[in-house]
Structure 1
């Protein structure tokens, strides 16, 4: 027995040293690997510390077995960029069981084929490492793999997650899982798989019976989710976010007794979500966010539910919150924002003691916020965008751990009550914007010692506010804008700082009549004093705030007229002075500026010659609607970073610099309209053109439409109207993404034959080619190809309701497209081009032939103007399908036949002009037709009825319309010689008229013209 004991001690003594001593060949391989890898020494936390004087089993990221073989290599986040492709060192570590190269920066290389030498691997993590291309067959030889992670979905902190995307085609997903049957964890996020639901569901369920974790986010998968996927009894985590499954959700509760996490965000899910899933006792995390067509209601939750996270944001869930939500005692994250919930927030929600995040914004909740009396760990409440009413309960401010409270976009009323013991509150963020809160600003706000952000804008707060009241030591953001407040500050030169830690101060629309005393603010970076009543000069001390650290200044929409001298701009990133009364020369912008807006002022003289040098970093330069003269300086071409350049509505002359469209390939918006520019449009648009908006309208430009404009495939708005361009229809734009095309009032000519072939204009919503010399027939046009006018839903791809250009993220700033259209005979400027606004204007040309019947397919069309052409045939009855039509002008053509009765059903039409055609018959009756004046129908000799016939209201009493008298004749027994004389005179005159009409062309044309005028005088309103 003693022998056995000592033998055991001897074995342990022999083994223990070996477990901590690296074998020489293993150390040699590791050192060779380190020396061959290309990595960032300053960012490395492991490789940089490998030292041959230290046992390699003790190196960071290295693990050995008891025999000194390297079995684990964790080299994630080492910023490795190369040296691994054919590494004889790495792929000779044949004992490796775990290899982690995640979050490195391999530059689009394929996964090395030498990886097949590592046959003992059980865990392989190559996620977010920068590998690209086809996953090689060699991966299929790693038969012992239990965990494989090739995902790129979570590496956006390093670079775009889709920049270096892997894909599975040959081998495909089916081949992969059939060879790696030991897999228990499979992560393929952002690997392009592109498989149908029947294929990928069956492949995984039939090959991986022991799978516990399946993550296939953003894999281009399609639905449906078939029942075979439910045949994975061990599955605990299922992540399928950001795929286009477009299917209903199966009842996962039936088979997945151990499911803990289910995430199906942004999957285009349909139908009703199974309530039983919420009742699964194992389920801890559920994310169904951003599935707009997914509906459902919340069930009565069972006791002791295990849910910790429930995210239903952006779905169509509805109904009320059940009282039983308090049964989810472990719930820490509840996001029900942007749904359709209604009713009261149950008071039992206050019993969720683990709740740390609550977002119930953008719903239809009403009533008051319940008391969170036991929620000691509650740190975040978002109850914005609801219909909450009543007073804000004081109990909210008694929560000891509450750090963020958002109550914006509700209908609270009354005053915020002053509370006691607030100095001990941990409230850090308070956002009650966009409500109906009223009364004075409560004094207790200044007693919230931990408060960092106070956002009170867009309410009904009133009274006078002294900025000095906000003494909160940690306050860094204060927004009092858009209330009924009169904000003031003292003029004292006290050494005490007014807002010592404030970084962002927003006082827009606060009735300021003078600049507040902000001379010595040490940290102020963003200052917004817009939409006030500031007059006079901009004080020069404002540029010295924070010792020149001011980075964002907005003084727009005031009454300022100049700059106090001397002045020097600090390193501003945003300078917004638009809509003032500023005079003099255009100020040189700061070299650091990203955004400069000088528009809607009275700046004069020419644009500075060296302006481009000062815009070297600018993305946005806006100087429209001033009085600038002279030429556009060529130096502006050196502002390579510009996304938006708007010099419109000035008095600029000369030509467009040829370098402008060529040099600045980043341009998204170039607006030079409403000037006096001459010459031709430079044919120098770059092959890398990114233009989205080009507005050169209302100048005196000549020549042709540049052919290189066809390089701008992403152009959405092209406006060259009101110039002197002489060319044919711009067929070169066939491959573009046009939404708005304005060619009005030029000298364009020819037919529209190529327009029939243009199918790429799927989102076209406004086309105006009026007042040109276009000719030819239009009957061949197939309007049904313009899907942007067929259904308003096709134009809702944007999350906004109007056309805009988001040039970069900067406090929500963007360029808003505008355009002038002709409606009801008047030019109207659309400051916002609504996505749903659609119109066609082919007027004042020489088009002939019939109006295509397919015009009736454009069911979201608002305006149609085909007037002043030579169109023939009848008015298509299909126009009656245009239920959104508000404007129709077919006047001055040669249209014949009757007015279709279908037009009377157009209930939204407010302007109609069918005058000067050859229409006849009775005008259809309808509620809208009765509102039109006779001028809408004049010049059509055969029309009768309302509104041209004043006796139409007597029609029911037997009065016949003019020109269509009944055969009933009332004879007189006596001869009235006065009538006989008149008849003889009429016969002579009539005979002479007929003879001249038949034998004299000039007389014939003059006669019929006069007849039209006389007829209209006789029957203008009958």
Structure 2
């Protein structure tokens, strides 16, 4: 076997070469030049596998160990492989820096380290290896670096740095990479202008610069151009100025994405006729005005598009050129299109349309007749002026009349979003019964009434059910338990009269039941390990706060999320196009009510306010150490504030007001350095307000209604209070007095009843005494039961801070 030159055991997934088997495999293969063990399980640390390979295979030229379960660090012994030309270590958890000695591999042509948990700074000198053609470092979020100057002609053909922490500007000398055909830099931190020289590279075919901070105008480029350019993605940057004219000369372009920038000016659609190979065009969310007038005679020579994004392009009507045979994705959202949705739009793409977004326009009706494409998977009509009843069969209404077709017949729907319109009527049972692929149903912010249909089928695929701000009543249907993938349930601000829905999916992340007629105790045997937002405020829930419930909410515990980084609650709709659906939820946060569209998986809320919960706050609340918002206000809670609240080190808003809490404010509360909103008012707290970084910075209103409190920020000295034995009265003393006096007079009344027999003969015998006695009793009862002195408890009226949703 000493004469063996190449060994390839790649993709033998069942093969495990656990130590010391790697050494045994190669120890006699001294003539080996190429070793491919991709997806073979090795499970060796860096110092071990590096030493085994370098000591046994000193003449190795090609080494590929992708997804082998090896770990770092990259030992210096690898530097002995002087002849190495190909090194591929993708998808291993190396968790290490790139050693400088890699720059000494003078024959290196390919270096791929995708998704290796690399960190530190990437050595600039590796870019200067004259033979290097392929450099793939994508998906290493902790790997930083810059692209250096290239002082001589380089050999690079492919550079991929996507999803890394690379930054800085692109050098003009990148023009020296004359062999470059593929450059992928999305989701990095590059800044500055895009160098003009980049568009002069003669062999460049694919250029991906999206999701950075490139800025400024793109200057016009004279010949020679990158005439081979096929893919150009500059989306999600800070580019401005007009769209460069030379873009319309890149005749081999198949994809052009300029969305989410600040390009401005007027764009004539007819200019795109020269780009006959174009299949993907996205101009959305700029400051462009699209001149969409095009003659019918020009339509046959217009590019046959697959994907068309014209959101926020100042359109006032449906452009005629969208009547194309292959169009599958169409986004005309955030425009000013008025009137009816034309019936011909459902025929676009030869009835193969899969994604249609007409949200945030001024549309009022659907033109008759309409026949939804059978493959339609995403239909977004939210935030228009659609009126009448929901367009379903047998509905005699302004939207569809007697049309036999309906959303219920679009059985491939994955997303149906009709939120924020003026729709009325009930939810037909077929909408959830027939659509087995439905993942998002959003009818929120309409005037929909009736009950939620109890027709969710076995195998239901719903992830989001949003029915907020309607007139729905009845119960939460039991069949919703069939939706095992459900992550978001929002039925807030309706008239639902039910007990707590304990049967919901264990995948639940957001539960919003606010402002309904829910009642009873909240005792569930189920656990929700991913729950991050629970808002059941303004209902009639009662009973005790069960500590077992809090302990099951792993999504609010830091250990559960520690390795996840900053992620958002979203899911992929169309993987090839990287399209996502983002949920929206309104939360009371820092004294405001806000609509959150991009919801971080780290953002956590508990809001139980304005209910009838009783008993003590469980110590278990302190285990939810990644909690941002906690609101138990307007309940009947007693006992002390648990010291474990001090464990909530991420807490930014705490409201325990309008309860019957007693004792001192725990000193641990003063250590919560992120706390920005605090309300402990109208309880029975006593003692000195703990001194710390935060508590003295709050307004005195945070402590109102606690006559036993003293110290800053209150203008009430603890020393003076102790000497006098009394404390000054406060503005809203009547609320407190109502609760205290009530019990004093009840005690007095009971004492009177005990002695009633002793005095009865006197009252019966002496009329004057009898009159005086009942006069005093009338005064007592007036203080207790005078209706003008009683105050209904209402939740605070919160200021609304509406966040405009991205269409």
What TM-score do you get using the length of structure 1 for normalisation? 0.62
1:231 aligns with 2:52: yes
Greater Cα shift, 544-553 or 262-271: 544-553
Separation (CA, whole Å) in 2 of partners of 1:567 and 1:757: 49
Query: SS state of the match for residue 300, structure 1?
Result: helix
1:467–1:498 CA contact under 8 A, matched in 2? no
1:907–1:928 CA contact under 8 A, matched in 2? yes
Determine the structure 1 residue equivalent to 2:439.
643
Alignment of 1:282-293 (within 5 A): 282-293=107-118
1:583 Cα shift? 3.3
1:482 aligns with 2:482: no
Query: 1:674-711 CA deviation, whole Å, 9 max, x = no partner?
Result: 4444444444467783333344455555565677x36x
Give the counterpart of 1:908 among 629, 654, 674: 674
Determine the structure 2 residue equivalent to 1:615.
410
Separation (CA, whole Å) in 2 of partners of 1:686 and 1:904: 43
1:318 aligns with 2:144: yes
Query: SS state of the match for residue 46, structure 2?
Result: coil
Query: 1:423-466 CA deviation, whole Å, 9 max, x = no partner?
Result: x9333333333344443344444334334333333333333332
Give the counterpart of 1:717 among 510, 521, 524: 510
1:185–1:211 CA contact under 8 A, matched in 2? no
- CA gap of 1:214–1:587, structure 2 versus 1, over 3 A, is farther
1:557 Cα shift? 1.8
- CA gap of 1:229–1:908, structure 2 versus 1, over 3 A, is closer
Query: 1:788-812 CA deviation, whole Å, 9 max, x = no partner?
Result: 4x6863554xx733x2344553744
Determine the structure 2 residue equivalent to 1:865.
631
2:543–2:613 CA contact under 8 A, matched in 1? no
Determine the structure 2 residue equivalent to 1:733.
526
Give the counterpart of 2:9 among 186, 205, 215: 186
Alignment of 1:230-269 (within 5 A): 230-232=51-53, 233-234=56-57, 235-242=60-67, 245=70, 247-269=72-94
Unaligned runs of 5+ in 2: 726-743, 754-776, 790-807
Separation (CA, whole Å) in 2 of partners of 1:996 and 1:525: 79
Alignment of 1:1007-1018 (within 5 A): none
Alignment of 1:109-508 (within 5 A): 184-191=7-14, 193=16, 201=22, 204=25, 215-218=36-39, 222=43, 224-227=45-48, 229-232=50-53, 233-234=56-57, 235-242=60-67, 245=70, 247-298=72-123, 300=125, 305-315=130-140, 316-323=142-149, 326=152, 329-343=154-168, 345=170, 349-364=174-189, 386-389=190-193, 392-393=195-196, 395-408=197-210, 409-414=212-217, 416-417=219-220, 419-420=222-223, 425-476=227-278, 477-490=280-293, 492=295, 494=297, 497=300, 499-508=302-311
Greater Cα shift, 623-632 or 344-353: 344-353
Give the counterpart of 2:486 among 681, 691, 705: 691
1:604–1:627 CA contact under 8 A, matched in 2? no
1:266–1:288 CA contact under 8 A, matched in 2? yes
Determine the structure 2 residue equivalent to 1:961.
720
Separation (CA, whole Å) in 2 of partners of 1:646 and 1:501: 32
Query: 1:280-310 CA deviation, whole Å, 9 max, x = no partner?
Result: 2344322112234432432535987543322
Number of residue pairs aligned between Structure 1 and Structure 2: 731
- CA gap of 1:739–1:209, structure 2 versus 1, over 3 A, is farther
2:203–2:228 CA contact under 8 A, matched in 1? yes
- CA gap of 1:729–1:246, structure 2 versus 1, over 3 A, is farther
- CA gap of 1:1009–1:253, structure 2 versus 1, over 3 A, is farther
1:943 Cα shift? 1.8
Give the counterpart of 1:530 among 333, 348, 372: 333
Query: 1:840-880 CA deviation, whole Å, 9 max, x = no partner?
Result: 3455444434652x644544322223445665655445544
- CA gap of 1:439–1:884, structure 2 versus 1, over 3 A, is same
Query: 1:208-245 CA deviation, whole Å, 9 max, x = no partner?
Result: 77766555545666552342552233355443434554
What do you get for the CA RMSD once the two structures are aligned? Answer: 4.6
Query: SS state of the match for residue 525, structure 2?
Result: helix
Separation (CA, whole Å) in 1 of partners of 2:170 and 2:391: 55
Separation (CA, whole Å) in 2 of partners of 1:686 and 1:436: 45
Query: 1:494-521 CA deviation, whole Å, 9 max, x = no partner?
Result: 4675624444443322222334342875
Separation (CA, whole Å) in 1 of partners of 2:352 and 2:265: 32
1:511 aligns with 2:314: yes
Query: 1:907-956 CA deviation, whole Å, 9 max, x = no partner?
Result: 43232222344433333455644453333223333322333317x6xx9x
Give 1 or 2 for the bigger CA radius of gyration: 1
1:882 aligns with 2:648: yes
1:609–1:635 CA contact under 8 A, matched in 2? no
Query: SS state of the match for residue 556, structure 1?
Result: coil
1:961 Cα shift? 2.8
Which of structures 1 and 2 has the larger relative contact order (alpha carbons within 8 angstroms, sep 6+)? 2
